């Protein structure tokens, strides 16, 4: 089934084998409540790594049953992050989630060369799935949060990550738009050159499982009328599933415009490690956290 609305991820997960979420340093109400709700909805099973006394206190204050979690006691923030990663490496979890641990310590545990979650040569990136009321299906975009100025190897990795995520959402052959300022190829604009090269790589089978085209301006990528007026044909123009942004500025602005001005919803994960990782903010809505957990569970092996 192709998933066209974020809520549909919940139903897809309920009918599949449950994955185990491991939350790193889950001492706070935001983390405990998000995992608790995901468990209640039948999306995942959950392990909380952190200070057991603090976790029990949070559960008591918010009337959350302790018996629904596996709790691993580790009161030190950094050690809790490493312990969560260790559980994943031991096969006791399928996806990771950031709790109260700071982002830099969370990422340090993931990236640790000896005990982390990275295979040699892997590239860490960020994938967001957006539901915009003004678009007829989900948009899968990257990178909006981790890679500031991706070069060709990173852009190829981002493209493949978006394709893999689209496949997990049931999109058999996603349409990937490589975004630039214009759909005209210009050797003076590096993003234009990179997009043309990646597009040709896809034409020759070096990138598989998707229609890939670029450079495409944003309007041409998502608006059929603009594509028709500008006489841009092909499988992708006007109907993109995935958007590969040339840099973090353009991606991040688009990502925030979706929720702040367009009333959209989203779920996001960090990819490139051996398991997907949820990097939620305390400012994220409950819906966003649940969508992110669901997305991680869907893409986890």
Arithmetic mean of pLDDT, 160-183? 97
Residue 83 near residue 112 (C-beta atoms within 8 A): no
* Cα distance between the two ends of the chain: 18
- Using the 8-state DSSP alphabet, how is residue 67 labeled? G
* Residue pointed to by tokens 């996001």: 268
Return the pLDDT at 286: 84
Kindly report, residue by residue over 109-155, the tens digit of the pLDDT: 999 999 999 999 999 999 999 999 999 999 999 999 999 999 999 99
Distance of alpha carbon 26 from alpha carbon 147, whole angstroms: 27
The alpha carbon torsion through 28, 34, 38, 39 (nearest 10 deg) reads 20
Q: Which domains does the chain have, with CATH numbers?
A: 8-121+273-299 (3.40.50.10950), 125-260 (3.40.718.10)
pLDDT for 86: 98
| CA distances, 219 to each of 37, 71, 74, 215, 243 (Å) | 38, 48, 50, 12, 12
The tens digit of pLDDT for each residue in 194-228 reads 999 999 999 999 999 999 999 999 999 999 999 99
What is residue 179's predicted lDDT score, i.e. its pLDDT? 98
Say whether the peptide bond before residue 51 is cis (omega within 30 degrees of 0): no
At 283 the pLDDT is 72
Q: Which residues of 122-158 are buried (b: 16+ CB within 10 A; e: fewer)?
A: ebbbbbbbbbbeebebbbbbbbbbbbeebeeebbbbb
Q: Answer yes or no: is pLDDT of 242 > 80.
A: yes
The pTM of this model reads 0.94
């Amino acid at each position: 089934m192709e998933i066209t609305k974020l809520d549909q991820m919940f139903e897809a997960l309920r009918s599949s084998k449950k994955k185990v979420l491991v939350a790193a340093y889950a001492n706070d109400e935001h983390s405990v409540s998000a995992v608790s709700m995901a468990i209640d909805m039948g999306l995942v099973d959950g392990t909380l790594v952190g200070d057991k006394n603090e976790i029990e206190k949070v559960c008591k204050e918010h009337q959350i049953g302790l018996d629904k979690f596996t709790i691993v006691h580790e009161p030190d923030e950094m050690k809790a992050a490493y312990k969560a990663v260790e559980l994943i490496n031991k096969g006791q979890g399928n996806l990771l989630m950031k709790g109260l641990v700071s982002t830099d310590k969370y990422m340090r545990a993931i990236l640790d060369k000896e005990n982390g979650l990275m295979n040699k040569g892997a590239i860490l990136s960020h994938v967001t799935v957006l539901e915009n009321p003004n678009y007829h299906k989900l948009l899968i975009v990257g990178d909006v949060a981790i890679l500031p100025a991706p070069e060709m190897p990173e852009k190829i990795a981002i493209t493949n990550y978006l394709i893999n995520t689209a496949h997990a959402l049931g999109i058999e052959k996603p349409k990937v738009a490589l975004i630039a300022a214009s759909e005209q190829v210009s050797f003076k604009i590096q993003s234009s050159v990179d997009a043309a090269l990646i597009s040709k790589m896809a034409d020759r089978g070096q990138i598989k499982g998707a229609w890939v085209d670029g450079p495409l301006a944003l309007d041409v990528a998502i608006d059929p009328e603009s594509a028709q007026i500008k006489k841009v044909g092909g499988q992708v123009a006007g109907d993109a599933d995935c958007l590969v942004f040339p840099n973090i500025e353009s991606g991040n602005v688009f990502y925030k415009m979706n929720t702040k001005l367009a009333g959209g919803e989203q779920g996001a994960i960090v990819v490139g490690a051996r398991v997907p990782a949820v990097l939620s903010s305390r400012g994220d809505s409950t819906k966003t956290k649940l969508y992110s957990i669901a997305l991680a569970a869907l893409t986890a092996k």
